[in-house]
Chain A
């Protein structure tokens, strides 16, 4: 699975993208966030502010309960500020 980070979340995690192999119990966006936070202090810190981090699965906005599968492209980022 490919994980992407944008804006200040990229700075906090220290990486723009990484490849991860999911343990079988990680089947949702929410579970993936908890799993990533367990080994990435910067990501855990960002998650501490509830409701701030947005997620996308295969380039569509996703909620914590939405499923993730091996091979998906999952992105995490702060609220968008374009325009």
Chain B
């Protein structure tokens, strides 16, 4: 399931809903990305810009790829857009499988691929100015390990 939304989300409620009423799921893995108030220069807020339409399309493709690679019973990607404050959740990725190996690996795959494939851009606000976050080569390398 893909959710691209402005409003925040309840992490526990989202995870509970993913496995509610199911008895075939033995492992539920999740990753939550949060807005960080940087240690060096304090970040007062971030704004996530996205490409409506293409975002949903790419996330659905990434999710389908995870289901093709691992035996998953359920999966969820929630990604917010708009302005958010330090401590708020940005993204939730969750995968459910019979056993932990598939759940953990597919969860890592989803967030690694999402970071390099989904059309989102972060604008950081400090007390002085706003600046667009630059892409990190470490993210490309993390995604590359899943290349086939």
Interface residues of A (CB under 8 A from B): 4, 6-8, 56, 59-60, 75, 77-83
Q: Would you give 13 A-B contacts (Cβ < 8 Å), ordered by A?
A: A4-B51, A6-B119, A8-B132, A56-B51, A59-B51, A59-B54, A78-B121, A79-B134, A81-B133, A81-B135, A82-B79, A82-B115, A83-B115
Q: Are B133 and A75 in contact (CB under 8 A)?
A: no
Cα–Cα distance between A4 and B49 once the two chains are bound (Å): 13
- Is the C-beta of B36 less than 8 angstroms from some C-beta in chain A? no
Interface residues on B, range: 20 to 34
Closest residue of B by beta carbon distance from A54: B119
Q: A56-B54, A75-B51 known; A80 and B119 CB under 8 Å?
A: yes
The listed residue with most A CB atoms (<10 A of its CB), out of B111, B118, B119, is B119
Q: Are A80 and B48 in contact (CB under 8 A)?
A: no
Find chain A residues with CB under 8 A from B136 CB.
81
Find chain A residues with CB under 8 A from B83 CB.
none
CB distance from A57 to the nearest CB of B (A): 10
Interface residues of B (CB under 8 A from A): 33, 48-51, 53-54, 57-58, 79, 90-91, 111, 114-123, 132-136, 139
Cα–Cα distance between A56 and B118 once the two chains are bound (Å): 12
Question: How many residue pairs, one in A and one in B, have C-beta atoms under 8 Å apart?
Answer: 71
Find chain B residues with CB under 8 A from A80 CB.
115-121, 135
Closest residue of B by beta carbon distance from A56: B54
Find chain B residues with CB under 8 A from A75 CB.
51, 54, 119
Closest residue of A by beta carbon distance from B122: A81
CB distance from B115 to the nearest CB of A (A): 4
Nearest 10 A/B pairs, CB to CB: A82-B120, A79-B135, A7-B121, A83-B115, A59-B54, A81-B133, A8-B132, A81-B122, A82-B118, A59-B57
Q: Are A78 and B54 in contact (CB under 8 A)?
A: no
Find chain A residues with CB under 8 A from B91 CB.
82-83
CB distance from A26 to the nearest CB of B (A): 22
Find chain B residues with CB under 8 A from A83 CB.
33, 79, 90-91, 111, 114-115, 118, 120, 139
Find chain A residues with CB under 8 A from B51 CB.
4, 6, 56, 59, 75, 77
